[in-house]
Amino acid sequence: MHLHANEKKVFTLFPKLPPELRDRIWRHAIPHATDDSSAVFFHCVEHLTPWYAQPGDPLYGLTESNLFLRYFYEKLDAVPVDVPLLKVNQEAQTAACFHAPQLGYEIFQNKEQGCPIIARRMNPSKDILYFEYGEAENMIVSGFDQMEALDEVYSLYPTPKHWGICGRNCLSHDDGYINEMLDFYDYFHTVHVFISDRDVELQRHNHGGVQATRIEPDTCGGRAWLYCKEQRQWKWAEGEVIGTKELNDKIELCTFDIIGHAYNDKQREDVPEYYIQPVVAKIIEF
């Protein structure tokens, strides 16, 4: 997916244009990081830690102690982004690496292939925080233990809105598993249940701070299990059944006691629905 430094190709569309004009064309060929599609970011328990809000933070003054349990998703490994300019020619590659940081990206080096990787950090409003088997409940326990040791009044700092778990987590826990997750972290409102979770977890390796592969959720036109705030009930949306009947039945049971949870809070008025979506993993090699 990358152009090696010793590869030189001629882009015949405008070889005689002035360098300044060519550079502008390259610049406008790079999409902004905020326009990138959603991707999976792997959870790391070390990024969950007590934190005191400072003046200027939007939640400063919310409590007298200003103490929060915060998940620093900004520190998660970045995900690679396919920027076609890297594969055009050396000039385009140089331009892409120069302009990418201005558009919300970071530049990494793939030492094995000797070429740059353009990547981005997590966007908590659309990307998925993925928990491998057993990690979600471990995070909850870790959070409680850390805050109990401080013996102070604290609040939860807003976390990424979309979580991903493996289907094995649903099938191996009692019916209140997802309910417990929501009780502890009620800022998130989407759970992606990866039915091909072993495929996802095999991809967990990186190149010096950037994931070696990119993983995206693929609904395959499947249905989602929705909670409608106005109707105060759960129902399946239209679509194909994705995954086994056992998994789909378990998703229904997991949410049996969540009716109305958190959606009466003013902070959740902007969330029209809560949903659980069975998905498969779309794995993109870089």
Report the length, in residues, of the chain: 286
b/e per residue 109-127 (b: at least 16 CB within 10 A)? ebeeeebbbbbbbbbbeeb
Give the separation between CA 119 and CA 60, rounded to whole angstroms. Answer: 31
Q: Which residue has the higher pLDDT, 99 or 176?
A: 99
Question: What is the three-class DSSP state of 127?
Answer: coil
CA quadruple 66, 67, 68, 70: dihedral positive or negative? Answer: positive
Give the separation between CA 89 and CA 207, rounded to whole angstroms. Answer: 23
pLDDT value at 262 more than 60? no
- Confidence (pLDDT) at 263: 45
pLDDT value at 69 more than 70? yes
- Confidence (pLDDT) at 200: 80
| Cβ 65 vs Cβ 240: under 8 Å | no
Q: Which residue has the higher pLDDT, 117 or 134?
A: 117
| Cβ 232 vs Cβ 261: under 8 Å | no
Domain ranges in the chain are: 14-262+273-285
Give the separation between CA 155 and CA 13, rounded to whole angstroms. Answer: 57
Give the separation between CA 92 and CA 60, rounded to whole angstroms. Answer: 44
Identity at 98, one-letter amino acid code: F
End-to-end CA distance of the chain: 6
- Confidence (pLDDT) at 265: 47
Q: Which residues contact 20 (CB under 8 A, 6 or more apart)?
A: none
Average pLDDT, the chain: 82
Q: Which of 112-121, 248-257, 261-270 has the lowest mean pLDDT?
A: 261-270
Instruction: For residue 101, give Cα distances in angstroms to 27, 31, 259.
Output: 11, 12, 44
Which whole number is the average pLDDT over 233-237?
87
b/e per residue 176-205 (b: at least 16 CB within 10 A)? bbbbbbbebbbbbbbbbbbbbbeebeebee
Give the separation between CA 24 and CA 272, rounded to whole angstroms. Answer: 41
- Confidence (pLDDT) at 192: 92
Q: Which residue has the tokens 């409102």?
A: 189
pLDDT value at 67 more than 60? yes
- Confidence (pLDDT) at 179: 64
pLDDT value at 278 more than 60? yes
pLDDT in tens, 188-220: 778 899 988 777 877 787 778 899 899 999 999
Q: Which residue has the tokens 């649903």?
A: 170
